[in-house]
Chain A
Amino acid sequence: MSDKVVTAKEAIASIRSGMTIGVGGWGSRRKPMALIRELLHSDIKDLTVVSFGGPDVGLLAEAGKIKKLVFGFVSLDSIPLDPLFSSKRQGGHIETEEIDEGMVVAGLRAAAQRLDFLPIRAGLGSGVLPANPHLETIASPYSDDVYVAMRALNLDAALIHVNRADKQGNGQFLGPDPYFDELFATAAETTIMSAERIVPTEKFLDEGSFHTLFINRMYVSHVVAAAQGAHFTSCEPDYERDEAFQKHYVESARDPEAWAKFAERFLSGPEDQYLAAVRDFHQGRSEG
């Protein structure tokens, strides 16, 4: 039986500059934030990032890691926009492939099935086609329909965060939605999966039915133990989104000076230092 457990740092060392990476979760929900924070500490750059975007995109954009973003939206859910992403875009610093979110799904499905493209109606007639001249349409051989031929979004690596994993790389979600984590994993050459807790395989069914065993080990190369590894996004039922901290992130992100302080306090050290600073942040609020 293979043991795929490594540290976040060791896992991220498998990522190279210029790669295309997919990030699991959705908006500000179950994002692999501990892995993203580890990426921020690396000297990796020029990434093409595919994401149902949340603060993962904001943080990577701000740190200058993103060459190109493939996305349908970037949102923090309870706060509609991420100011770090907005300011990088408004400065013209990021190349984008902005497509319908269903087209992102189709592109990942094509990659997972080792197809060049999958047909989809979404995108026809919209600004998505003029904005992405590399995307072609295709005539149906069976009717007069024309579809978008959504090009495969082949990923070099996928980063996902789950509630429970075993050492071999099986993953379990316990919240309301698996999001597209499995699709990201199947569309990628390698997948790095962090988990709130690593449990013995025989303990999986103690916490959820077999329907929750959504990621199998064939798709996973590295397993990382990361309690609070989705913070400050939600990771139900382990924890909800840290709304107070997200608000602090957004308020800091709107002002360069405040952002410098935020980055110094929360993002300058390793993960245990981050979690300690977050505890300190909440303690300060309850006392203040």
Chain B
Amino acid sequence: MTTEATRAEVCVVACADTYRGVGEILGHAVGIIPTLGARLAKLTFAPNLVMSDGEAFFMHTPPPLGKTASSGGVLESWLPFGKVFDVLATGRRQSIMGASQIDQYGNQNISLIGDRSHPKRQLIGVRGAPGNTANHRVDYWVPQHSTRIFVEEVDMVSGVGNNHLEGFGTGLKYHQLGQIVTNLCVFGYGPEGRLEVVSVHPGVSLNEIEENTGFSLATSEVPTTRIPDDEELRLIREVLDPKGIRSREVPE
């Protein structure tokens, strides 16, 4: 009998589930738990998922967690940065990205905090978030669910939210926000495009989620997030992350 799943393992499975039914596309995942999720999806229900080493190579078998092809694994193709832009333009990609801020309509910010001409904190920049959200499905991973991250309105829209799709004809027809997996819950989007709680991780109360979210949530009874099954737990613990690196992102 396997021991009970940790919170990190519940999050891995929730990330994996964002890749259900995707077919033969590039599973792009930023962070340890999203990477484990994508790799778990590939080993179970999404065998055709394509995975990169985060640099220039597609991997037949992955490198050690957090490392690139130079540290191991088997290459299957070469995709330098220049070709990544071509792949996302074809739509054959799905991302789990991080976020410094996310607002009630799923706008994401990784650029800066404060005023853009004189920011309080300069962060990494919008990177590829505008292009990703304009071209293919994007999900987000938030390891520390807090009112600092979940804000009423983001300071610089990097990933495009559901309230900014008007005014470009059909230009944003490929925009699709999937889910937001946090250390407390899984969010989806309601009919108005606003965040709503889809499921709550075991041991978390709705109250705790409301207290750590900087905008109102129309909450009602929601189910508990899916628990990993025994085979998924075995794959996570013995095959994908035997060193337990996942607990660095979500401590037990």
Complex CA–CA separation, A200 to B68 (angstroms): 33
The minimal Cβ–Cβ distance linking B94 to chain A, given in whole angstroms, is 16
The minimal Cβ–Cβ distance linking A54 to chain B, given in whole angstroms, is 12
Contacts known (A144-B170, A147-B171); A72 close to B125, Cβ less than 8 A: yes
Q: Which of B131, B160, B161 contacts A101 (CB 8 A)?
A: B131
Contacts known (A90-B121, A144-B169, A176-B80); A127 close to B89, Cβ less than 8 A: no
Contact: A100 with B171, CB < 8 Å?
no
A-B contact pairs, 26 of them (CB 8 A): A71-B125, A72-B125, A72-B126, A72-B128, A73-B126, A75-B125, A81-B123, A98-B116, A99-B130, A101-B85, A121-B89, A121-B131, A121-B134, A122-B128, A124-B160, A126-B133, A126-B164, A137-B168, A137-B171, A143-B170, A145-B168, A145-B170, A146-B170, A176-B57, A180-B81, A183-B82
The minimal Cβ–Cβ distance linking B154 to chain A, given in whole angstroms, is 8
Residues of B near any A CB (own CB < 8 A): 55-57, 69-70, 80-82, 85, 88-89, 109, 111-112, 116-131, 133-135, 156-161, 164-165, 167-175
A102 at the interface (CB under 8 A from B): yes
Contact: A126 with B160, CB < 8 Å?
yes
Contacts known (A74-B124, A100-B126, A128-B130); A177 close to B89, Cβ less than 8 A: no
Residues of B within 8 A of A101 (CB): 85, 127-128, 131
Q: Which of A71, A80, A86, A179 contacts B81 (CB 8 A)?
A: A179
The minimal Cβ–Cβ distance linking A148 to chain B, given in whole angstroms, is 9
Contact: A100 with B129, CB < 8 Å?
yes
Residues of A within 8 A of B171 (CB): 121, 124, 137, 145-147
Contact: B82 with A73, CB < 8 Å?
no
The minimal Cβ–Cβ distance linking B95 to chain A, given in whole angstroms, is 13
Contact: A103 with B122, CB < 8 Å?
no
How would residues 175 to 207 of chain A score, 1 for a CB under 8 Å from any chain B CB and 0 otherwise? 011111001000000000000000000000000
Contact: B124 with A127, CB < 8 Å?
no
Residues of A near any B CB (own CB < 8 A): 26, 53, 71-75, 80-81, 85-86, 89-92, 98-103, 105, 120-128, 131, 137, 139-140, 143-147, 176-180, 183, 236
Residues of A within 8 A of B160 (CB): 124-126
Contact: B164 with A125, CB < 8 Å?
yes
Contact: B131 with A100, CB < 8 Å?
yes
Residues of A within 8 A of B109 (CB): 127
Q: Which of A75, A124, A126, A180 contacts B124 (CB 8 A)?
A: A75
Contact: B125 with A177, CB < 8 Å?
no
> Would you list the 8 A-B pairs with minimal beta carbon distance, nearest first?
A122-B131, A73-B125, A126-B130, A127-B157, A125-B164, A125-B160, A89-B122, A100-B130
Residues of B within 8 A of A127 (CB): 109, 111, 116, 126, 156-158
Residues of B within 8 A of A124 (CB): 130, 134, 160, 168, 171-172
Complex CA–CA separation, A203 to B127 (angstroms): 38
Complex CA–CA separation, A143 to B119 (angstroms): 39
Complex CA–CA separation, A81 to B82 (angstroms): 22
Complex CA–CA separation, A146 to B134 (angstroms): 12
Complex CA–CA separation, A176 to B131 (angstroms): 24
Contact: A177 with B81, CB < 8 Å?
yes
Q: Which of A80, A131, A178 contacts B82 (CB 8 A)?
A: A178
Complex CA–CA separation, A162 to B112 (angstroms): 32
Contact: A86 with B121, CB < 8 Å?
yes
Contacts known (A144-B170, A145-B170, A180-B81); A123 close to B131, Cβ less than 8 A: yes
Residues of B within 8 A of A176 (CB): 55-57, 69-70, 80
Contact: B130 with A122, CB < 8 Å?
yes
The minimal Cβ–Cβ distance linking B53 to chain A, given in whole angstroms, is 9
Complex CA–CA separation, A63 to B135 (angstroms): 38
11 new A-B contacts, CB < 8 A, other than A80-B124, A90-B120, A126-B129, are A53-B125, A73-B124, A81-B123, A98-B111, A100-B129, A123-B134, A124-B130, A124-B171, A127-B157, A137-B168, A145-B168
Contacts known (A90-B120, A126-B157); A73 close to B130, Cβ less than 8 A: no
Q: Which of A73, A98, A146, A178 contacts B168 (CB 8 A)?
A: A146
Contact: B122 with A81, CB < 8 Å?
yes
Complex CA–CA separation, A102 to B126 (angstroms): 11
Residues of B within 8 A of A75 (CB): 124-125
Q: Which of A74, A81, A102, A125 contacts B128 (CB 8 A)?
A: A102
Contact: B126 with A125, CB < 8 Å?
no
Q: Which of B55, B119, B175 contacts A125 (CB 8 A)?
A: B175
Contacts known (A126-B164, A176-B80, A177-B56); A121 close to B135, Cβ less than 8 A: yes
Complex CA–CA separation, A91 to B81 (angstroms): 32
The minimal Cβ–Cβ distance linking B109 to chain A, given in whole angstroms, is 8
